[in-house]
Amino acid sequence: MKKRKNAEKVIYYSDLLNDDFAGNSIKKKDVDENFKFVHKSKLWNIVADIVYYVIAVPLVYLMCKIILGLKFKNRKALKKLRKSGYYLYGNHTQMLDAYLPSMAAFPKRAYILANADAVSLPCLKNIVTMLGVIPIPTKLSGMKKFLDAISTRFQENACIAVFPEAHIWPFYTGIRPFKSTSFKYPVKENAPVVAMVTTYRKRLFFKRPAMTVTISEPMYIDNSLPIHEAQEEIRNRVYDFMVSVSQSEENIEYIRYIDKSE
């Protein structure tokens, strides 16, 4: 991988799996069986479509294009899944990552599995939910409704987006290790899986690099394997694709991450 001789910033980490550099201090609220994961009100859904399609997606696309020089590669691969729901897995390097699935999958609706802090601000909870966030329950009592919501959206032929690294590392150029746990969803539904990889390229006249998002071809579950092996197998294919794309010579370092133990 090509590296800049002098990164603009250095961040020291101690745990590849659990360190988070998102920089938010939102107090997480409980998500349990009382959370409304799927709204059935026609009025609510009409407003949600207006917020999603008319306001949010165009606005965020312009922001990403102007601020981060967003460019998609192989987005045409998603056309093969126009008549099917699918799961989209990506690395997590920006707060704006939550909107990448919406732009990649457009005009198909995208829903994003996110931590509870995404819906923990009372004034924004409904807006965030309208934008497609499905919060991961903080209590076991909410798990059934959460899983039912994911299944419902998949049956609606939507894109379900997952960031298995879980934590944001801004401008990180590698792929952090992640478990196969989140791959139980497509295995359960026997759903197509697509990998989405964010890398960074040199940008003229700007120190901050531009963002490139590379989409994989659809991958399919190996039904000949037991469930847990199938999860691990599809996880490995996604991870290997992500690593191969991240090692592109175009991927440049803006923030250098250094292990404290070294």
Instruction: Note whether residue 3 is domain-resident.
Output: no
- What band does 2 get if pLDDT is binned at 50, 70 and 90? very low
Residue 76 CB partners (closer than 8 Å, separation 6+): none
Residue 1 reports pLDDT greater than 70: no
Instruction: Note whether residue 202 is domain-resident.
Output: yes
**137-186 confidence digits (pLDDT tens):** 989 999 999 999 999 999 999 999 999 998 889 999 999 999 999 999 99
Residue 103 CB partners (closer than 8 Å, separation 6+): 57, 60, 61, 64, 70, 72
Distances (CA, A) of 123 to 39, 119, 126, 251: 18, 9, 8, 38
Instruction: Note whether residue 1 is domain-resident.
Output: no
Instruction: Note whether residue 128 is domain-resident.
Output: yes
What average pLDDT does range 60-75 have in this prediction? 91
Residue of 100, 50, 105, 47 whose CA lies nearest to 76: 105
Q: What is the model's pLDDT at position 26?
A: 65
Tokens 């394997």: give the residue: 225
Q: What is the model's pLDDT at position 25?
A: 62
Domain limits for position 72: 9-259
- The CA distance from 142 to 35, in Å, is 7
Q: What is the model's pLDDT at position 4?
A: 46
Contact 217, 77 (CB under 8 A): yes
Instruction: Note whether residue 56 is domain-resident.
Output: yes
Instruction: Note whether residue 4 is domain-resident.
Output: no
Tokens 């800049």: give the residue: 4
Mean pLDDT of the chain: 90
Looking at per-residue confidence, does 5 or 197 come out higher?
A: 197
**206-227 confidence digits (pLDDT tens):** 888 999 999 999 999 999 999 9
Instruction: Note whether residue 201 is domain-resident.
Output: yes
- The CA distance from 168 to 18, in Å, is 10
Q: What percent of the chain has a predicted confidence (pLDDT) above 70? A: 95
Neighbours of 234 (CB within 10 A): 24
Tell me, what CATH number does 90's domain have? 3.40.1130
| Structural domains of the chain, count | 1
Token pair recorded at residue 33: 């069986």
H or E stretch at 214? strand 210-215
Instruction: Note whether residue 196 is domain-resident.
Output: yes
- The CA distance from 4 to 11, in Å, is 15
Q: What one-character-per-residue DSSP string does 77-138 give?
A: GGGGGTTS-EEEEE----GGGGGHHHHHHTTS-EEEEE-GGGG--TTTHHHHHHTTEEEPPS
**88-133 confidence digits (pLDDT tens):** 999 999 888 888 999 999 999 999 998 887 777 777 888 889 999 9
